[in-house]
Amino acid sequence: MGTEYPNSPAIPSRPASPFSVPQSSTPFKSSGPVVGPEASAFRHAPPSSSQITPPSSSYGSMVGTEASAFRTIPSGMPNGAARPPPTSGFPNMPPAAGPYQHFPAPQFSSIAQVPPPRTSLAGQPVLWPPVRPVSGSFSTSPVSLNPTQPPPVQMGSPPQSGSMVQPDPVAPRSPIDSQFSAARATMQLSSPTAGSVYPVARPSFQSSFPGYISQQTTAGAQAQPRQSLAFHPKPGGYVPPMPAASSPYFAQQGGYAAPPSVASQLGHPREQIRHPGSTHPMAVMQGLVEDFSSFSIGSVPGSFDSGLDSKVLPRPLEGDLERNTLSEMFPLNCSSRYLRLTTSGIPNSQSLASRWHLPLGAVVCPLAEAPNGEEVPVVNFAQTGIIRCKRCRTYVNPYVTFTDGGRKWRCNSCALLNDVPGEYFAHLDASGRRIDLDQRPELTKGSVEFIAPTDYMVRPPMPPLYFFLIDVSAVRSGMLEVVAQTIKSCLDNLLGFSRTQIGFITYDSTLHFYNMKSSLNQPQMMVMSDLDDVFIPLPDDLVVNLSESRTVVDAFLDSFPSMFQENTNVESAFGPALRAAFMVMSQLGGKLLIFQHSLPSLGVGRLRLRGDDIRVYGTDKEHILRIPEDPFYKQMAADFTKNQVAVNVYGFSDKYTDLATLGTLAKYTGGQVYYYPSFQAAVHKDKLCHELARDITRETAWESVMRIRCGKGVRFTTYHGNFMLRSTDLIALPAVDCDKAYAMQLSLEETLLTSQTVYFQVALLYTSSSGERRIRVHTAAAPVVADLGEMYRMADTGAIISLFTRLAIEKTLTSKLEEARKSVQLRIVKALREYRNLHAVQHRLGGRMIYPESLKCLPLYGLAICKSIALRGGYANAQPDERCAAGYTMMALPVKKMLKLLYPQLIRIDEYLLKKTSLAEDSKDKGIWKGLPLAAGSLDPQGLYLYDDGFRFVLWFGSMLSPDRVKNLLGENFAADYSKVSLRELDNEISRNLMGLLNKYRESDSSYYQLSYLVRQGEKPREGYFLLTNLIEDPVGGANGYLDWIMQLHRQVQQNA
């Protein structure tokens, strides 16, 4: 990407208006030969020989009226090396052998490798600002369960090694100052002379993301071109991160030398570094809170032999109850919607960390949707440059402190004293606060967005580009119509306004290119049948500016579904089409949306039926079905990432399409997999419409990279999610949006941490849809703790489960499903055993099962992970494509979405539907929203229930539900086969209430669309498929129910306890 934009001074400065265009409306036209109006010469391209396949032979409908939509349906490309004869159509071209000039493909091999800059970084002892004590809000106490007599449960001996990754604490580290550092050369090193008056540069604020209001008041927004050390995502700077063959989810390790530790100034008086509003929390956190609120399962007083009562087991019936202890301790932290730690108590030693058997790390959702009024403020430092620590590259944040009369600032992360640039100077008041603090969001907010100067660019910000690659081979499902209509309806809402670029390729056994040049009235179609030598016939007109070519694009979307309506060609040349899309997009980058209907069958990247081999399950080769078969796809994914292309894969087939392999494209490009098995427009249209529309209209950060920094002594070692790593810790994300989250694991570098606080900083450098380069920075502090009880007390089940699920899914790519499930179980057992050792003797809890209150739902979520589609059962329990799609999807889910998928909400709604009160009032009534245990015992035959996992609704009609009510909801269809009934609003209150309720649920999280599936009690097999197998508390299909699971865990905890 951007090879023609080296760090040359010719880079235009950022436009004054974010919506203005740096150079021209299509600033990055590829440099191929100019093809003027002469392109129309395609019309007359004669078939070169008998090798040419007339398109009309493939597409019946093209003979009819629709064919006129494409005036030029030139001949197919030659099959052999010989090109079609020259025509007069390309006056500017060198004489070529055919009508299609074979332009040199864009270079996608890397140019010179530019190693990340290295500097010697002196580590300094860190000074820690005091933090405010927290009043006794840590009520976390151990809770115990007392199984009277846990039945012996046989389970194979647990795997010896906790194979779910124990990061090597002494693994080498990467240079702190790698690509994602910037503008070191620009730091103002000179200290201002005392007494002089410094002009204060006022940042201009904007509301940010989404929306990008263009109000940018600072005049001097033009940063002069500088010697840039920043971010070189240009091809040269890219370290090819090809995943290890054995593990497609490449856990990155090492490559990094620890910075030398330099002891230096420790002598700062505390007053100088005290930050307003922060004091020390640890004083009150010593030791354990003694109030045990244990309860027993079993031995109900007055009865014996009653056994366990599953009713008393803990459940997350109110969803994700986030604990806010950290934000109480550190009110300046970013919101937990952006960053959640698995425990806010960072262990102070490696020995302590090793006793924390759960994942230690973070889940980051850098662009999470913020409620109105809580948008991230935008700061423009203009000529001052972005203020960062000279040594560790931390961005200025609320935890830095000012000293020396305001002329110096101390980095909260590495304690280095930095000079305050003259333009940024402000006097301090008597308490050491900057007098302009209330006008400085970067010093008061945990999340802020900086306008990046040109130092952070290697080319002008790219315009949003959408490219659609559509399988048109014998599609009868109505998919093409839905896709075309949806795209057309979104054209006005695509990101980028007048800068948006768009293009299309369709394919079956041949590739079809579409010239969308704005001077045309109708698109011109070009068919290429030579799959071995794919090239781009018209480099400049296959991707066009949407607003300029709007008419042509509209005409294309109106006509292409009917063109292929009667297509009987069943072959799919997906690999060659993918290559072609890459060639078209590689200059700009952007979003590639793939609509794949069948197994790729022709050309490079052809795949075979391999997922249905039942004999492989349960063997050591089972996992191979879940990883890509052909290295072509991984290589393509790497090339796409390098060229800033994010790939989203939409799968539709009723047959095996090897999503394990196709999903690789999304996995390594920061993309997403959408799966609509057995797609039928009549059934699935709404879901596809909504999700595709959201995909192409949700605010997106383009050509981005993300890094999460943390203080000295700790570091992130492994990363988990859909992305590719560039260098050891720089996450390459060609496109990011609010629906994507990433997880990472933390380890200690030093035997003992001396600091009291660890700071985390997430920085996402990206190009906004409006064409600005920006850096979104989230900062959070967390206390260092010295005992395990504190770690448990500050544990966050949601973050643990999110990280845990990702690790378990990765495990299924190298091991049998059963082993992945066992590893989940083993870690939970180890954690509970450790906790038990901490408390059991002291509190004489004997045979009771005890666990920390903060993790009371951990065992249940662990069970849910094992029963999720990605991990459940074996061959018979999930189709291979379904399983893989679930895995890819879950790897990207934000915490709340993940928890809801694992433990969906089940509510009874029949009584509610009879109420006449308005929905608005009812939403305040928490009762209706509280879920029921996910067990068949929750279902009353007289009731109507809604099951919602965030991806679909299941409406369960009890067999004794009043026929009148059923009739009100389903109309005359009420007695019909429910698989054929679709829910729609009828003219009665109950029906309206139901539809209102469903819409309310959909609106509460619109990242996916829930279709409604209706099932009647006792209806087989639908009731089982849609609902009963998902009631995870029940023993289904040989797997444990909740109660058995608890008993089994307890048994294992007691072994060797």
Smallest separation, CB 387 to Zn ion (Å)? 11
Which of 378, 387, 391, 409 shows the shortest CA–CA distance to 275? 409
For Zn ion, which stretch binds (CB under 5 A), given 394-402, 431-439, 482-490, 738-746? 394-402
Neighbours of 266 (CB within 10 A): 10
Smallest separation, CB 414 to Zn ion (Å)? 3
What number of residues does the chain have? 1057
Q: Provide the residue type at 1054 as one letter.
A: Q
Which of 360, 355, 359, 361 shows the shortest CA–CA distance to 836? 355
Smallest separation, CB 417 to Zn ion (Å)? 10
Smallest separation, CB 292 to Zn ion (Å)? 43
Over the window 285 to 324, marking each residue x when it contacts Zn ion by CB under 5 A and - when it does not, the resulting string is ----------------------------------------
Burial of 156 (0-12, 13-18, 19+ CB in 10 A): exposed
Half-sphere exposure (Cβ direction) of 979: Cα atoms closer than 13 Å:
7
Smallest separation, CB 1048 to Zn ion (Å)? 48
> What is the number of helices (H) and of strands (E) in the chain?
23, 30
For Zn ion, which stretch binds (CB under 5 A), given 389-397, 546-554, 671-679, 1007-1015? 389-397
- Quick check: 420 binds Zn ion (CB under 5 A)? no
Structure tokens at 4: 């023609």
For 492, residues 6+ apart whose C-beta sits below 8 A from its C-beta are none
Burial of 520 (0-12, 13-18, 19+ CB in 10 A): buried
Structure tokens at 304: 């014996």
The footprint of Zn ion on this chain (CB under 5 A) covers a number of residues equal to 8
For Zn ion, which stretch binds (CB under 5 A), given 157-165, 403-411, 852-860, 878-886? 403-411
**DSSP result, 921-965:** HHHH-HHHH----SSGGG--TT-EEEEE-SSEEEEEE-TTS-HHH
**Complex with Zn ion: residue 335 or 413, whichever CB lies closer:** 413
Which of 42, 62, 26 shows the shortest CA–CA distance to 513? 42
β 590-596/465-471 pair status? parallel
Question: For Zn ion, which residue of 389, 799, 828, 855 counts as binding (CB under 5 A)?
Answer: 389
Smallest separation, CB 396 to Zn ion (Å)? 10
**Complex with Zn ion: residue 100 or 716, whichever CB lies closer:** 716
Q: Provide the residue type at 560 as one letter.
A: F
Smallest separation, CB 392 to Zn ion (Å)? 3
**Complex with Zn ion: residue 712 or 793, whichever CB lies closer:** 712
Query: What are the distances in angstroms from CA 218 to CA 16, 23, 197?
Result: 9, 21, 21
- Quick check: 520 binds Zn ion (CB under 5 A)? no
- Quick check: 755 binds Zn ion (CB under 5 A)? no
Smallest separation, CB 332 to Zn ion (Å)? 17
Helix, strand or coil, per DSSP, at residue 799: helix
- Quick check: 411 binds Zn ion (CB under 5 A)? yes
Q: Residues 988, 989, 994, CA angle at the centre, nearest 5°?
A: 105
Over the window 921 to 960, marking each residue x when it contacts Zn ion by CB under 5 A and - when it does not, the resulting string is ----------------------------------------
Question: For Zn ion, which residue of 72, 413, 515, 889 counts as binding (CB under 5 A)?
Answer: 413
For Zn ion, which stretch binds (CB under 5 A), given 190-198, 404-412, 427-435, 898-906? 404-412
Structure tokens at 588: 């700009």
Which of 1013, 1017, 994 shows the shortest CA–CA distance to 941? 1017
For Zn ion, which stretch binds (CB under 5 A), given 155-163, 247-255, 408-416, 791-799? 408-416
Q: Which element (helix H / strand E) includes 292?
A: none
**Complex with Zn ion: residue 144 or 181, whichever CB lies closer:** 181
The position carrying tokens 């396949």 is 53
**Complex with Zn ion: residue 102 or 274, whichever CB lies closer:** 274
Over the window 65 to 104, marking each residue x when it contacts Zn ion by CB under 5 A and - when it does not, the resulting string is ----------------------------------------
Query: Euclidean distance between the first and final Cα of the chain, in Å?
Result: 57
Phi, psi of 771 (to 5 degrees): 95, 20
Question: For Zn ion, which residue of 392, 748, 866, 884 counts as binding (CB under 5 A)?
Answer: 392
Residue 1032 region by backbone torsions, left for phi larger than 0, else alpha for psi between -120 and 50, else beta: alpha
d(CA 462, CA 451): 15
Q: Which element (helix H / strand E) includes 832?
A: helix 817-839
Question: For Zn ion, which residue of 239, 368, 396, 414 counts as binding (CB under 5 A)?
Answer: 414
For Zn ion, which stretch binds (CB under 5 A), given 23-31, 334-342, 414-422, 855-863? 414-422
The position carrying tokens 């850096």 is 775
Over the window 804 to 823, marking each residue x when it contacts Zn ion by CB under 5 A and - when it does not, the resulting string is --------------------
Smallest separation, CB 470 to Zn ion (Å)? 49
For Zn ion, which stretch binds (CB under 5 A), given 415-423, 637-645, 647-655, 681-689? 415-423
**Complex with Zn ion: residue 275 or 391, whichever CB lies closer:** 391
Q: What is the DSSP letter of 619?
A: S
**Complex with Zn ion: residue 26 or 188, whichever CB lies closer:** 188
Please confirm whether the linkage preceding 1021 is cis (ω < 30° from 0): yes
- Quick check: 363 binds Zn ion (CB under 5 A)? no
Smallest separation, CB 181 to Zn ion (Å)? 11
Smallest separation, CB 411 to Zn ion (Å)? 3
- Give the interface with Zn ion as residue ranges (CB under 5 A): 389, 391-392, 394, 411, 413-414, 416
